[in-house]
Amino acid sequence: MASKPPKSDPVQDAPQVAEPKRAAAGLPAIGHTLRIAQQQMGVRRTALTLLRVNQKDGFDCPGCAWPEPEHRHTAEFCENGAKAVAEEATLRRVTPDFFAAHPVTDLTTRSGYWLGQQGRLTHPMYLPEGGDHYEPVTWERAFDIIAEDLKSLGSPDEALFYTSGRTSNEAAFLYQLFARELGTNNLPDCSNMCHESSGSALSETIGIGKGSVLLDDLYKADLIIVAGQNPGTNHPRMLSALEKAKANGAKIITVNPLPEAGLGRFKNPQTPQGMLKGAALTDLFLQIRLGGDQALFRLLNKLILAESDSASGAGSGAVDEEFIREHTHGYEEFAEAARAADWDETLTATGLTREKIDEALRMVLASKRTIVCWAMGLTQHKHAVPTIREVVNFLLLRGNIGRPGAGVCPVRGHSNVQGDRTMGIFERPAPAFLDALEKEFGFAPPREHGYDVVRAIRALRDGEAKVFFAMGGNFVAASPDTEVTEAAMRRARLTVHVSTKLNRSHAITGARALILPTLGRTERDLQGSGEQFVTVEDSMGMVHASRGRLEPASPHLLSEPAIVCRLARRVLGHESRTPWEEFEKDYATIRDRIARVIPGFEDFNARVADPGGFALPHAPRDERRFPTATGKANFTAAPVEYPKLPEGRLLLQTLRSHDQYNTTIYGLDDRYRGIKNGRRVVLVNPEDARELKLSDGSYVDLVSEWKDGVERRAPGFRVVHYPTARGCAAAYYPETNVLVPLDSTADTSNTPASKSVVVRLEQSATD
Ligand SMILES: Nc1nc2c(c(=O)[nH]1)N[C@H]1C(S)=C(S)[C@@H](COP(=O)(O)OP(=O)(O)OC[C@H]3O[C@@H](n4cnc5c(=O)[nH]c(N)nc54)[C@H](O)[C@@H]3O)O[C@H]1N2
Ligand SMILES: Nc1nc2c(c(=O)[nH]1)N[C@H]1C(S)=C(S)[C@@H](COP(=O)(O)OP(=O)(O)OC[C@H]3O[C@@H](n4cnc5c(=O)[nH]c(N)nc54)[C@H](O)[C@@H]3O)O[C@H]1N2
Ligand SMILES: [Mo]
């Protein structure tokens, strides 16, 4: 039997703190997984469901975007994948009775954890203007309401169409097509808050905004640098890949302000030996200060050049001269900037010692095949784009792009965030993509760029956008500057959420609001032509099918493609020549169109029949061709930046605990970091804490300081003395989003700088 959701809320947030763990996974992980899964699903459903995750005839894990290995274990999932599945396959339900019992004013007082724990949404629900209760509504009426509002807009650009990254390729393709037939490129997505900086930096330098390695490359690498990523929690299956890489002789350098458990010792739950002993993954740990990565890579580049310039190094091949000559552009300017890198400044920016950097250099020079992996620790800074460009410089210098065992590896978050972008979910679409849409569907797509997430919030705030539609996600909780974002959302005329689970975005609404409940990945999708499957693209550009088998959570759910098709028919009517009805009936007909519009998808339906899926083309990886403006891989030479802190302040990063999936909170523990039963904690280096007179266990308010002079405050955090880098602090998202100023974003990519918030810690009034 599944257990009931918690009744009381606010759930008691009373953190208990123990020593952080050194090893990740292993037996405790399995026990933990089964406990959480059984609470949601009961024993039988847990076993049946978990066995189908990531199997060739099963569904793609809705957890992260890490690829599936060629040879899959019977249980090809990880602890956190299993939690993501349990969250969706839960037997708990949010019915119209629930909404009758809980007015919206009540929902706004509840924690995100409590809301999520209530279970799956079962009926389309409508919140009328001035009402305080969502009421059940028919699908027809729901589409009428949306159509009314969309048609009354002064311009289609007053509507926003957000996407979170779980949406399938088929649904995403239809969704962007609908928005563009309506007449807008306002397609902000979670990627704007996530890997946008990677996309920006990579498109400019190598000509494609995606990683250049496949799983097999990791197994062939001599050196893997993992910077700004916590795979033990967020991409647990990556640890198995790193373990295999090490068995093949690779060395691993970890660059992180925190000593994250998984990168220390890993106990592979899928091998008996791994369970007992575990393997140490990291060979060299560089405990860097937040935002110090650009300086670090710049100095390494200087040292590589110096090695190449030195008499003893002449001809040593420290730099790959032939590759640089044949395939790159901008080398001279870059080399000049790199040679000017300053040791002292680098030591200040990184907080590292000379010895550690020298050791890293030796490992770099000894490696013939190097891969750099990264995630949010690199992308969510003001200077994220130049930081990632510097990583590209570092790899180009030794010819580490476009050959086996080497390359760039941005590790994506949401399971189909990369696919959604490939399908055209982008506020700044390429002209060639729009041309292809125009040719295939016979309408003139809008050419003007749309709003990204931050600009969408400003548009709502300023009354320039009036209808907000979300395909999944939890926009108000995931976005920065919570108070600003919530106020902005309340100004909308209509907010609509296509969702599986209840979340805060359903409580903070426009004048009218709709909740449209949808099928999850685990569920059977039956349409006019029979059972359907969808497709997804993983972090390494592999496309494959995903087929749900479970009975849907309620008979009233529609699939995401069906919702878009019906909405499009209702809103666009006869003006649209697109066969929406046929698309809804048979998703293979959507894939036929994708095949004609998007390069790399030729013969889509035939190729996706291969259970292993297929790889999308990637010119730099496949043929060392760089489709950039210069036709070559571009070296760049931006000035080095790093955050500078005023006296008595700390730099706060906002990150994930082990028991959450973004804004979905599975539980109140962060096992690897030794935190139990609470989320309002702030991790502070003991030396900093001593200087700031903050004892372990005391309570503080986090107050963010930004140049607009507005005081942003998150009250009541328990101080935890923790071995993070000096001057740095860490606390969980989304509780701390209230501290991230809307205007504090990365240059070029406009991604909120969620890993770089200047804060002062004030004793809490209640302490
Ligand atoms: N279980 C689970 N899985 C998930 C998610 C989840 O919430 N839960 N979220 C998914 C999503 S959408 C994403 S984007 C990914 C996120 O995956 P991660 O990027 O691993 O997630 P974060 O928790 O934000 O962790 C950031 C890591 O970077 C480090 N870091 C922070 N700032 C810096 C810096 O300036 N320099 C360096 N070198 N390191 C830094 C932090 O200490 C931390 O280890 O995970 C995906 N997978
Ligand atoms: N401060 C701070 N803010 C951050 C980050 C950070 O590190 N720090 N990280 C950023 C990152 S990397 C990301 S990706 C964003 C995440 O932003 P979002 O993607 O918007 O947020 P999620 O929490 O993943 O969304 C969860 C909701 O998605 C819905 N959902 C789940 N599965 C499905 C499905 O199959 N279909 C549909 N239609 N709905 C579904 C459920 O209703 C659930 O409540 O947050 C960003 N915000
Ligand atoms: Mo993400």
Q: What is the pLDDT of residues 325-350, one digit of tens each?
A: 999 999 999 999 999 999 999 999 99
pLDDT in tens, 458-476: 999 999 999 999 999 999 9
* 277 vs 269, more confident: 269
With respect to residue 446, please indicate whether it lies within any of the assigned structural domains: yes
Q: Is the pLDDT of residue 47 over 90?
A: no
Residues whose CB falls within 8 Å of the CB of residue 477, separated by 6 or more in sequence, listed in order? 112, 503, 504, 505, 663, 734, 737
Q: Please tell me the number of the ligand nearest to residue 472's CA.
A: 2
Mutational test site, ligand 2, from 663, 745, 757, max ligand atoms within 8 Å of CB: 663
Please tell me whether residues 270 and 386 are part of one structural domain: yes
Q: d(Cα 335, Cα 635) in Å, to the nearest integer?
A: 9
Please tell me whether residues 392 and 298 are part of one structural domain: yes
With respect to residue 199, please indicate whether it lies within any of the assigned structural domains: no
What tokens does 307 get? Answer: 């090695």
Q: d(Cα 198, Cα 384) in Å, to the nearest integer?
A: 8
- Provide residues with CB under 6 Å of ligand 1: 63-64, 80, 194, 227-230, 233-235, 255-258, 260, 288, 290-291, 293, 375-377, 413-414, 653, 655-656, 660-662, 755
Q: What is the pLDDT of residue 583?
A: 98
What tokens does 462 get? Answer: 């300023």
744 lines ligand 2 (CB under 6 A): no
What tokens does 635 get? Answer: 């070296």
Please tell me whether residues 371 and 244 are part of one structural domain: yes
Q: Give the nearest ligand 1 atom to 257 CA.
A: 42
Q: Is the pLDDT of residue 672 over 60?
A: yes
Would you give the distance in Å from CA 12 to the centre of its chain? Answer: 28
Strands 512-517, 494-499: pairing is parallel
Does residue 38 contact residue 49 with C-beta atoms inside 8 Å?
no
Instruction: Report CA(487)–ligand 1 centroid distance (Å).
Output: 28
Please tell me whether residues 514 and 661 are part of one structural domain: no
What tokens does 281 get? Answer: 């993954």
Q: Is the pLDDT of residue 20 over 90?
A: no
507 lines ligand 2 (CB under 6 A): no
Does residue 64 contact residue 81 with C-beta atoms inside 8 Å?
yes
Q: What is the pLDDT of residue 77?
A: 64
Please tell me whether residues 219 and 352 are part of one structural domain: yes
Would you give the distance in Å from CA 148 to the centre of its chain? Answer: 34
Please tell me whether residues 229 and 338 are part of one structural domain: yes
Instruction: Report CA(154)–ligand 2 centroid distance (Å).
Output: 30
What tokens does 101 get? Answer: 């019992």
* Banded pLDDT at 57 (limits 50, 70, 90): confident
Q: Is the pLDDT of residue 442 over 90?
A: yes
With respect to residue 288, please indicate whether it lies within any of the assigned structural domains: yes
Please tell me whether residues 398 and 285 are part of one structural domain: yes
* Banded pLDDT at 74 (limits 50, 70, 90): low
Tell me the mean pLDDT in the region 277-300.
Answer: 93
Q: What is the edge-to-edge ordering of all strands in the sheet holding 614-615?
A: 534-537, 542-546, 614-615
Rg, the chain, Cα only: 25
Q: d(Cα 536, Cα 541) in Å, to the nearest integer?
A: 9
Q: Please tell me the number of the ligand nearest to residue 65's CA.
A: 1
Please tell me the total number of residues recorded for the chain in this structure: 767
Please tell me whether residues 458 and 583 are part of one structural domain: yes
Q: What is the pLDDT of residue 694?
A: 97
The per-residue pLDDT of the chain, averaged, comes to 94
Phi then psi for residue 280, to 5 deg, are -80, 120
* Banded pLDDT at 43 (limits 50, 70, 90): confident
Residue-number span of the structural domain to which 375 is assigned: 205-410
Q: d(Cα 528, Cα 601) in Å, to the nearest integer?
A: 25
* Banded pLDDT at 1 (limits 50, 70, 90): low
Question: Which DSSP helix (H) or strand (E) runs through 441?
Answer: helix 431-441
Q: What is the pLDDT of residue 41?
A: 80
Domain final residue, candidates 361, 388, 410: 410
Q: Is the backbone peptide bond immediately before 734 cis, with ω within 30 degrees of 0?
A: yes
Q: What's the longest Cα–Cα distance across the chain?
A: 80
663 lines ligand 2 (CB under 6 A): yes
Please tell me whether residues 673 and 585 are part of one structural domain: no
Q: Whose CA is nearest to atom 7 of ligand 2?
A: 655
Q: Which amino acid is at 760?
A: R
Tell me the mean pLDDT in the region 563-580.
Answer: 97
Q: d(Cα 229, Cα 653) in Å, to the nearest integer?
A: 13
Of 236-245, 352-361, 385-394, the range with the lowest mean pLDDT is 236-245
CATH of the domain at 738: 2.40.40.20
Instruction: Report CA(166)–ligand 3 centroid distance (Å).
Output: 11
Tell me the mean pLDDT in the region 432-445.
Answer: 98
Mutational test site, ligand 2, from 166, 258, 376, max ligand atoms within 8 Å of CB: 166
Distances (CA, A) of 544 to 59, 461, 615, 734: 10, 40, 9, 31
Please tell me whether residues 457 and 574 are part of one structural domain: yes
740 lines ligand 2 (CB under 6 A): yes
Instruction: Report CA(147)–ligand 1 centroid distance (Å).
Output: 39
Q: Give the nearest ligand 1 atom to 375 CA.
A: 19
With respect to residue 627, please indicate whether it lies within any of the assigned structural domains: no
Instruction: Report CA(234)–ligand 1 centroid distance (Å).
Output: 7
With respect to residue 550, please indicate whether it lies within any of the assigned structural domains: no
With respect to residue 430, please indicate whether it lies within any of the assigned structural domains: yes
pLDDT in tens, 605-656: 999 999 889 999 999 999 999 999 999 999 999 999 999 999 999 999 999 9
Would you give the distance in Å from CA 546 to the centre of its chain? Answer: 20
Q: What is the pLDDT of residue 71?
A: 61
On the 0-12 / 13-18 / 19+ scale of CB atoms within 10 A, 279 is middle
- Cα dihedral 321/325/329/334 (nearest 10): 30
- Cα dihedral 498/658/25/729 (nearest 10): 140
Q: Quick one: what percent of the chain has pLDDT higher than 90?
A: 84
Does residue 469 contact residue 451 with C-beta atoms inside 8 Å?
no
Q: Is the backbone peptide bond immediately before 15 cis, with ω within 30 degrees of 0?
A: no
Instruction: Report CA(370)–ligand 3 centroid distance (Å).
Output: 25
Beta bridge partners of 23: 265
> Look-up: residue for tokens 């220390």?
264
Question: Which DSSP helix (H) or strand (E) runs through 704?
Answer: strand 699-704
What tokens does 379 get? Answer: 């992308």
Q: Give the nearest ligand 2 atom to 655 CA.
A: 7
Q: Is the pLDDT of residue 766 over 80?
A: no
Instruction: Report CA(375)–ligand 3 centroid distance (Å).
Output: 8
Q: Please tell me the number of the ligand nearest to residue 733's CA.
A: 2
* Banded pLDDT at 67 (limits 50, 70, 90): confident
With respect to residue 119, please indicate whether it lies within any of the assigned structural domains: yes
Domain final residue, candidates 383, 410, 437: 410
**Number of domain units in the chain:** 4
Phi then psi for residue 203, to 5 deg, are -60, -45
With respect to residue 638, please indicate whether it lies within any of the assigned structural domains: no
pLDDT in tens, 345-361: 999 999 999 999 999 99
Q: d(Cα 319, Cα 306) in Å, to the nearest integer?
A: 10
Q: Whose CA is nearest to atom 22 of ligand 2?
A: 473
500 lines ligand 2 (CB under 6 A): yes
Domain final residue, candidates 410, 438, 459: 410
664 lines ligand 2 (CB under 6 A): yes
Q: What is the pLDDT of residue 45?
A: 78
Q: Is the pLDDT of residue 277 over 70?
A: no
pLDDT in tens, 397-411: 999 999 999 999 999
733 lines ligand 2 (CB under 6 A): yes
Q: Quick one: what percent of the chain has pLDDT higher than 70?
A: 94
164 lines ligand 2 (CB under 6 A): yes
Please tell me whether residues 436 and 492 are part of one structural domain: yes
Q: Is the backbone peptide bond immediately before 10 cis, with ω within 30 degrees of 0?
A: yes
Q: Please tell me the number of the ligand nearest to residue 233's CA.
A: 1
Q: What is the pLDDT of residue 495?
A: 98
Tell me the mean pLDDT in the region 481-486.
Answer: 98
Please tell me whether residues 114 and 216 are part of one structural domain: no
Q: What is the pLDDT of residue 35?
A: 78
Does residue 478 contact residue 485 with C-beta atoms inside 8 Å?
no
Instruction: Report CA(381)–ligand 2 centroid distance (Å).
Output: 19
Tell me the mean pLDDT in the region 242-248.
Answer: 96
Phi then psi for residue 306, to 5 deg, are -65, -40
Q: Whose CA is nearest to atom 15 of ligand 1?
A: 413
CATH of the domain at 586: 3.40.50.740
Q: Which amino acid is at 334?
A: F
761 lines ligand 2 (CB under 6 A): no
| Nearest partner of 636 among 197, 208, 310, 330, judged by Cα | 330
pLDDT in tens, 313-328: 556 799 999 999 999 9
